[in-house]
Amino acid sequence: MSDVAGRARTPFLLRLSMVLAALGALLSLALFLHAGPYTLVVFMFLAQPLLLLAVALFAVQVLKDLRRERLL
């Protein structure tokens, strides 16, 4: 299957959730590697909301799938 076809079949919310989770994880890594006031602030106000948003978007996508398949 081509890349374009693969992307087309992948829900946008899921892809967005993956990107946000990766960004949140990378920003968290900065804190673990170099703990300081700035990395802590970035972790609290950027990384944590990104990870939370990633979880929420994944949950929305799962609910959508369940409704589409009439399991909910």
* Contact positions vs other proteins (CB under 8 A): 1, 3, 5-7, 9-11, 14-15, 17-18, 21-22, 24-26, 28-29, 31-41, 43-44, 47-48, 51-52, 54-55, 58-59
Task: Assign 26 to helix, strand or coil.
Answer: helix
Provide the token pair at 15. 């892809």
Closest approach, Cβ 27 to other proteins, in A, equals 10
> Please, which residue, 5 or 71, has the CB nearer to other proteins?
5
| Alpha-carbon span 17 to 22, nearest angstrom | 9
